[in-house]
Amino acid sequence: MGCLHSTGWWSHKEPREPHQEPKSYSWDKKDRVNPADFTVENVSNEEVGRLPGTIGGQQFIIQNCQASQIYLFDCINTITIDDCSDCIIFVGPTTGSLFLRDCQDCVVMAACGQFRTRDCCKMEIFLLCQTQPIIEASTKMKFGCFQAFYPQLKDQFTVAGISIFNNNWANVHDFTPVDGETNWSCISQANALSSSFKLPEGEELKSIDLNLSSDCSVVPYTYGSPVYATQEATLIFFFFDEAQHQRAMEFIASLRAQAVECKIQHSREVMMETADAQRVFHTSEYKNAINQGPVIALLCLGDDIAGVCSKIAQQMNAASSKQAVYVTSDSNTSNQQIDAFFSYASMTMSM
C-alpha cells in the first residue's frame, strides 16, 4: 500500500502568481459623454442655454427649434444648427466650423473659425469669423459684426484659439449667386443689434451679464466695407509684447473718445515675414520688432484720423519707452502701406 504521506504529481500545487490589477488605458479613463448634454432640440417658445464650463470644447447640435432663445456661453469645438425658425441664438467661441442648414427668420451671434449656411432664408448673423464666411442656396441674409461681453468671454476666445482681431464678417462668399439678385448684405449700424437680439430673461442665464454694447465688446467693432479710397485713412500697427492686446484695446477706446466719428474698417493679427514687412514699412528698421511675434493692425477712417492716431501712439510709445505702436505718416504713404499690408494679410489668412 502506498504511504498516506507520499507525494505525487496529483498533489503538487503551482505557486500562486502575485495579484495583478487589470490593465488600464488612457481611452478608458475619459469621461463618458452624454450626447443630450451637448444637444438642444425640439424646443418651442422656450429659453434654454449652457453656462460657462458646461460644454468644454465639445461638439454641439441645435436642431428643430422654433420661437426660442438659445444661449451657449462656453467654448465649442464645432456646431451644427438645423431646421430652426424664429429663434435667437448665441454661440460662444467655436474653434472649428459653424454650419447653419434649413433655417429661417433667426438672429444668430457667433464667433467661429469657419462659417457656412445652406438653404437658409431671412437670417441676421452678427459674426466673428477667422476665414471667409460662405453662403450656399441662401437668400435675404444680413451680416453684422459680433459685439458682446461677459466676464468669461475673453478667456474663452484664448482657449478656443480665436483671434479677436481677425474678423472677416463682411467678406462673404456666395457659393450659388443668381444673376441680378443679391443674396446678402451688410449691417453697418452698431446699434442695430439691440433691436434684433434679445437678452436672457431667466435668472440662471441672466446672471451671465451678457452685454451687447460695442463699447464693451471683447471683439473690436469693425465696419468691414472694402471702400476707403474716398476717405482719409491710416494704418496702425501694434508690435508684439506681453501688453500688445491690451494696448490695442486701449488705443481703440482712446480713439473713440477723441474722434467720435472715426471708423475702424478692418483689424488683423498676423505674422509678417521680413521681406513683406520691408514692402509695407519701406524700411528694414522694424525687422526685429516683427520677428518677435504677430502684429496687430487697424485700418481707421475719419477726418484728421492720422493726426489723432499719431498723438495717441506718441503717448503710448512714451509710456512704454519703445516704439510699440506705429502709425502711417501721410495719405500717399498710407494708401500704399494699406494696400501692401492687406494684400499680404489676405494671402496669409487664405492659406
**How high is the pLDDT of residue 146?**
96
Residue ranges per structural domain of the chain: 37-206, 233-349
Which grid cell is 322? 519703445
| 195-209 burial code (b ≥16 CB/10 A, e <16) | eebebbeeeebeebe
Q: Which stretches of the chain drop beneath a pLDDT of 50?
A: 1-13, 27, 351
**How high is the pLDDT of residue 345?**
81
**How high is the pLDDT of residue 93?**
98
**How high is the pLDDT of residue 229?**
61
Q: What is the pTM of this model?
A: 0.87
- Any idea which fold 37-206 has? Pectate Lyase C-like (2.160.20)
**How high is the pLDDT of residue 232?**
87
| Separation CA 346–CA 351 (nearest Å) | 9
**How high is the pLDDT of residue 349?**
61
Q: Between β-strands 134-136 and 139-145, what pairing exists: parallel, antiparallel or unpaired?
A: unpaired
**How high is the pLDDT of residue 284?**
87
CB–CB of 122/142 below 8 Å? no
**How high is the pLDDT of residue 11?**
45
Q: What CATH number does domain 233-349 carry, 3.40.50.970, 1.10.1200.10, 3.90.79.10, 3.30.70.141?
A: 3.30.70.141
CB–CB of 59/78 below 8 Å? yes
Q: Give, in order, the Cα–Cα distances in Å from 280 to each of 49, 120, 229.
A: 46, 40, 18
**How high is the pLDDT of residue 4?**
44
Distance, first Cα to last Cα, the chain: 92
**How high is the pLDDT of residue 17?**
55
The total of other beta-carbon atoms located within 10 Å of residue 89's CB is 25
Per-position DSSP letters for 175-199, written without gaps between them: SS--TT---EEE---TTHHHHH-PP
CB–CB of 135/183 below 8 Å? yes
**How high is the pLDDT of residue 241?**
93
Q: pLDDT (tens digit, 9 = 90+) per residue, 54-112? A: 999 999 999 999 999 999 999 999 999 999 999 999 999 999 999 999 999 999 999 99
Which grid cell is 196? 434684433
Q: Which amino acid is at 209?
A: D
Query: Computed from CA positions of residues 5, 10, 16, 17, in that sequence, does the dihedral angle turn out positive or negative?
Result: positive
**How high is the pLDDT of residue 57?**
96
